[in-house]
Amino acid sequence: MARLIRTEKEVEGRFEEVWLVVEEDALEQWPAGAREIVGKPAQRVTGPMRALGEARYTADLRLPGMLQAAVLRSPHAHARVKKISLERALAAPGVRAAVGPGDVSVLTDEPGHQGQAVAAVAADTIGQARAAVALIDVEWDVRKPLLDPDEAAEKGQLVGEASRYERGDVDRALAQADVVVEAEYRTQTVLHSSFETHQSVCEWRGDSLDVYISTQFIFGVRDEVAGKLGLPPDKVRVVCEYMGGGFGSKNGAGDYTFIAIELAKRTGRPVRCALTRREENLASGNRNATIQRLTVGAKTDGTLLALTGEFVNATGWDGWAAPTDGPMRLLYDCENVRTVLYPAKLNTPPMKAFRAPGFVEGTFGLECLLDELAAKLDMDSLELRRLNYANSTDDRPYSSKNLMECYRRAEQHWGRRDQVRARSDGPWKRGVGLASQIWYGGGGPPSYAWVRLGSDGRATVITAMQDIGTGTATAMTQIAAEELGLPIDRVDFVLGDSARGPYASVSAGSSTTPSMGPAVRAAATDAARQVLEIAAQRYDQEGRVLSLKGGNVVSSDGGSWPLEEVVGLLEDAQILGKGARGPNPTGMQVLTFGVQVAEVAVDVETGEVRVERVAAIHDVGRVINPLGASSQVEGGIIQGIGHTLSEDRLLDPASGLTLNPTFDTYKLPTIADVPEIVTELLDIPDEHLTNLGSKGLGEPPIVPTAAAIANAIRDATGADVRSLPISREEMLRALREARERERKKHGAPTAV
Amino acid sequence: MELLQPSSLDDPIPSNSLLLSGGTEVVPLLRDGLLDADVLVDVRGIVPRGIDGTRIGAGTTLAELEVDSAIPDALREACRLAASPQLRNMGSLAGNLLQSTRCWYWRLDFPCRLHGGDTCHARAGEHREHAIFGNGFCASAHPSDVAAALIALGATMRTTKRELAVADLYRLPTDDDRSLTTLEPGELILELEVPQPERSTYLKAMERRRWSFPIVGVAAARTGDERTIVLAGVAPTPWVLDSPEALADATPLPGTAYKVEIAQALVRRVLQALA
Q: How far is CA B158 from CA A4, B14, B41, B56, in A?
A: 84, 22, 20, 10
Do A606 and B105 make contact, defined as CB atoms within 8 angstroms?
no
Query: Is a pLDDT exceeding 50 seen at residue A706?
Result: yes
Residue A379 Cα to chain centre, angstroms: 34
How does DSSP assign A485-548, residue by residue? T--GGGEEEE-SBTTTS-----S-TT-HHHHHHHHHHHHHHHHHHHHHHHHHHHTT--GGGEEE
Q: Is A733 on the interface with B (CB under 8 A)?
A: yes
Residue A650 Cα to chain centre, angstroms: 23
How does DSSP assign A277-311, residue by residue? HHHHHHHS--B-EEEEEEEEEE-TT--EEEEEEEE
Mean pLDDT of all residues belonging to chain A: 96
Q: Is B211 on the interface with A (CB under 8 A)?
A: yes
Q: Of B106, B99, B132, B101, nearest to B120 (Cα)?
A: B106
- pLDDT band for position A752 (50/70/90)? very low
Query: Is a pLDDT exceeding 90 seen at residue A384?
Result: yes
Beta strands in A373-412 (DSSP E): none
Nearest to A606 among B84, B126, B205 (CB): B205
pLDDT digits (tens, 9 = 90+) for B28-76: 999 999 999 999 999 999 999 999 999 999 999 999 999 999 999 999 9
- pLDDT band for position A747 (50/70/90)? confident
3-state secondary structure of A133: helix
- pLDDT band for position A393 (50/70/90)? confident
Nearest CA in chain A to B268: A605
> What CATH code is assigned to A148-192+291-381?
3.30.365.10
Q: Is A316 on the interface with B (CB under 8 A)?
A: no
pLDDT at A8: 77
- pLDDT band for position A3 (50/70/90)? confident
Residues B1, B26 contacting (CB under 8 angstroms): no
Mean pLDDT of all residues belonging to chain B: 97
pLDDT digits (tens, 9 = 90+) for B204-257: 999 999 999 999 999 999 999 999 999 999 999 999 999 999 999 999 999 999
Q: Is A176 on the interface with B (CB under 8 A)?
A: no
Do B207 and A727 make contact, defined as CB atoms within 8 angstroms?
yes
CB atoms inside a 10 Å sphere around CB A403: 25
Orientation angle between helical segments B145-152 and B73-80, nearest 10 degrees: 180
Residue A17's φ and ψ, nearest 5 degrees, are -85, 125
pLDDT digits (tens, 9 = 90+) for B161-174: 999 999 999 999 99
Taking residues A136-151, what's their average pLDDT? 98
What whole-number distance in Å separates Cα of residue A258 and Cα of residue A202? 9
Predicted ipTM of the assembly: 0.97
Q: How far is CA B47 from CA A438, B98, B186, in A?
A: 60, 15, 13
Residue B143's φ and ψ, nearest 5 degrees, are -90, -5
- pLDDT band for position A1 (50/70/90)? low
CA angle (B269 as vertex; B257, B212 as ends), nearest 5: 60
Domains in chain B with CATH codes: 1-46 (3.30.43), 48-274 (3.30.465.10)
Which of A375-379, A450-454, B14-18, B142-146 shows the lowest mean pLDDT across its residues? B14-18
What whole-number distance in Å separates Cα of residue A528 and Cα of residue A531? 5
Do A652 and B208 make contact, defined as CB atoms within 8 angstroms?
no
Do A729 and B258 make contact, defined as CB atoms within 8 angstroms?
yes
What whole-number distance in Å separates Cα of residue B56 and Cα of residue B71? 9
Q: Checking DSSP bridges between strand B55-57 and strand B51-52, what pairing results, if any?
A: antiparallel
In chain A, ranges of CATH 3.30.365.10 domains: 2-56+443-492+506-580, 61-143+195-245+250-283, 148-192+291-381, 395-442+585-752
> What CATH code is assigned to A2-56+443-492+506-580?
3.30.365.10
Do B209 and A732 make contact, defined as CB atoms within 8 angstroms?
no
Residues A328, A294 contacting (CB under 8 angstroms): yes
Nearest CA to CA, how far is B92 from chain A (Å)?
19
Q: Which of B27, B231, B258 to mutate to test the interface with A (most CBs of A within 10 A)?
A: B258
* For chain A, percent of residues with pLDDT exceeding 90: 94
Do A645 and B208 make contact, defined as CB atoms within 8 angstroms?
yes
Show residues of chain B in contact with A652, CB under 8 Å.
105, 121, 125-126
* For chain A, percent of residues with pLDDT exceeding 70: 99
pLDDT digits (tens, 9 = 90+) for A353-363: 999 999 999 99
Return the CATH architecture of domain A61-143+195-245+250-283.
Answer: 2-Layer Sandwich (3.30)
Q: Is B126 on the interface with A (CB under 8 A)?
A: yes
pLDDT digits (tens, 9 = 90+) for A20-68: 888 878 899 999 999 999 999 999 999 999 999 999 999 999 999 999 9
Do B208 and A646 make contact, defined as CB atoms within 8 angstroms?
yes
What whole-number distance in Å separates Cα of residue A343 and Cα of residue A160? 6
Chain A from 616 to 675: CB within 8 A of any B CB: 645-646, 650-654, 657, 659-660, 664-665, 667, 669-670, 672-673
Sheet holding A560-562, edge to edge: A546-549, A552-555, A560-562
Do A659 and B126 make contact, defined as CB atoms within 8 angstroms?
yes
pLDDT at B213: 98
- The DSSP bridge partners found for residue A208 are A205
pLDDT at A749: 55
- pLDDT band for position B190 (50/70/90)? very high
What whole-number distance in Å separates Cα of residue A300 and Cα of residue A526? 59
pLDDT at A692: 97
What whole-number distance in Å separates Cα of residue A152 and Cα of residue A156? 6
Q: Which of B102, B209, B259, B264 to mutate to test the interface with A (most CBs of A within 10 A)?
A: B209
What whole-number distance in Å separates Cα of residue B219 and Cα of residue B230? 5
pLDDT digits (tens, 9 = 90+) for A183-222: 999 999 999 999 999 999 999 999 999 999 999 999 999 9
Do A665 and B124 make contact, defined as CB atoms within 8 angstroms?
no
The class (CATH top level) of A395-442+585-752 is: alpha beta
What whole-number distance in Å separates Cα of residue B31 and Cα of residue B107? 11
- The DSSP bridge partners found for residue A199 are A274
Residues A615, A413 contacting (CB under 8 angstroms): yes
Nearest CA to CA, how far is A153 from chain B (Å)?
23
Do A653 and B211 make contact, defined as CB atoms within 8 angstroms?
no
pTM for the model stands at 0.97
Residue B181's φ and ψ, nearest 5 degrees, are -130, 165
CA angle (A356 as vertex; A350, A361 as ends), nearest 5: 75
Query: Is a pLDDT exceeding 70 seen at residue A748?
Result: no
Q: Is B265 on the interface with A (CB under 8 A)?
A: yes
Nearest to B208 among A427, A605, A667 (CB): A667
Q: How many CB pairs (< 8 A) connect A and B? A: 71
Show residues of chain B in contact with A427, CB under 8 Å.
265
Query: Is a pLDDT exceeding 70 seen at residue A167?
Result: yes
